[in-house]
Amino acid sequence: MGWFEVYSRLLGDALATGSRRWTEQEFAGLDLGDGRLDKRAKILMERLSANPTASIPMACESWSETCAAYRFLANPDVEWEDIMAPHWEQTQKRMNAYPVVLCLQDTTELDFNGQEATGLGPLNYEARRGMYVHPTYAVTPDREPLGVLDAWMWAREERDKDGVRHGRKESTRWIEGYERVAEMAAEMPATRLVYVADREADLLAMMARAQVLGTPADWLVRAKHNRCLPDGDGEKLWAYTSAGAALGEITFTMPGRDDQKARKVRQQLWAREVSIANGKAGTVSATCIVAREIDAPKGVKPVEWRLLTNRPALALDDAIELIDWYRARWEIEIYFNVLKNGCKVEALQLSAIDRIERALALFMIVAWRVAYLMRLGRTCPDLDAALFFDPDEIRGAYLLSKKPQPTEPPRLNEVLRLIAQLGGFLGRKSDGEPGVKTIWQGLQRVMDVATALQSMREGHG
């Protein structure tokens, strides 16, 4: 099944309803216990998605709407999990269309230092105030973002006079994250779910739990600990794995990050089945993969990854597939970038952590949509733009770009590139496809025009 057919299947409801707003589809089944609350959540989602970089007062269309938004976020009867529940359900529906889905897990800190919100806790330094967010982000092996599956939000407790920090052990989120993915795997027998995480998830407790459950979902984590093997001769995991001839090589392009330019990376790969000692509980069976860069440019630190997984890697293609899956973990970093720098959630001016959590529930869905549009414009450029944008939004993109709107329905990539150019994307041949930053900046301008067009039409009606 090709990309166009897959997305036509996924978006059948959108095809049937034409320009229906995406928020209505994503919030289908929302139940906050009161129809008025449901309506307010949908309106607020529309406002925030239309202007993701703006503050809540700037995103709202009037003072009364702003007041209503703050009342909604302050309502103790609204749980942030209930706000996200419809999106979780829609995400799982999208996942059903794929044979393999990567369930990426990671944690990001939100710095609210200097704000007076109650309920915040220390970050990496006791004096810094904020909270943590840990989502499970579903993507395909081709890196199509399907949505957020689950999330944890919390603030650390202060250390007591003896320097001890009480409260729930934070590492349990990695184990519970796997358990949640495993539960979904039982509900989706036609889709293989793969739990993917970085070094913080290198926990024997997580691997042992997966083994006890019968590993209903695969797991793939970057190894942090160079463990001694259980045979007693002191041999270490990474040296044991990379002893002998390599399985082969992999070459890929490492994308540019911060001040580092994109470059070609060539790695040699080793893979061996291992048993890892787990105390009195026995051993955990796993495959260890070592991917070591060769011929790195002078002055550049070679890229080396050590991965652990429950999946066998008997041949080179098996190891390459697992490396590609691990490389897709970068998508959750892009997602955090949109959430923090695009949606500017750390600038939220709310008086308590529960209010921040409700706002974050909305912004996490908005951030997914921005990342989703970016990736879709690259992989499915010929989809009808009307599946994702209202007619006024499409018209606004052409008006601001000072280009005539085509008589034929415009394609998704065409509209996305116009939006990105409004956000600073130059669109030269050497620039490739637009990224999330220019898309979210351009969306703000397009949504402003769309709102004006709607207001003019209603005023003259």
Show the tokens assigned to 407. 């008589």
CA distance 155 to 109: 10
Q: Which of 159, 113, 107, 167 is nearest to 132 (CA)?
A: 107
CA distance 449 to 92: 33
Share of the chain above pLDDT 70, in %: 89
Element spanning 146, H or E: strand 145-154
CA distance 448 to 439: 14
Q: Is residue 279 left, alpha or beta, with left meaning phi > 0 and alpha meaning psi from -120 to 50?
A: left
Mean pLDDT of 143-170: 85
Show the tokens assigned to 299. 């002055």
Model confidence at 446: pLDDT above 70: yes
Residues 290-346 pLDDT 10s: 999 998 898 889 999 999 999 999 899 999 999 999 999 999 999 998 899 888 899
**How sure is the predictor about 105, in pLDDT bands with cuts at 50, 70 and 90?**
very high
CB contact burial 82-95 (16+ within 10 A = b; e otherwise): bbbbbbbebbbebb
Residues 81, 85, 87, 92: is their CA dihedral positive or negative? positive
Mean pLDDT of 75-91: 95
Determine if the pTM surpasses 0.75.
Answer: yes
Report for 144-148, 367-371, 383-387: range of highest mean pLDDT? 144-148
**How sure is the predictor about 1, in pLDDT bands with cuts at 50, 70 and 90?**
very low
Model confidence at 8: pLDDT above 70: no
CA distance 267 to 234: 27
What backbone phi and psi angles, to 5 degrees, belong to 167?
105, 180
Helix, strand or coil for residue 349?
A: coil
Mean pLDDT of 77-100: 95
Mean pLDDT of 376-390: 70
Show the tokens assigned to 32. 């906050």
CA distance 410 to 413: 9
CA distance 321 to 317: 6
CA distance 186 to 118: 39
Q: Are 310 and 218 in contact (CB under 8 A)?
A: yes
Show the tokens assigned to 392. 């006024």
CA distance 136 to 143: 14
Give the pLDDT confidence score for residue 361 in this predicted structure.
95
**How sure is the predictor about 415, in pLDDT bands with cuts at 50, 70 and 90?**
confident
Residues 191-223 pLDDT 10s: 999 999 999 999 999 999 999 999 999 999 999
DSSP state for residue 60 in the 8-state scheme? S
Model confidence at 115: pLDDT above 90: no
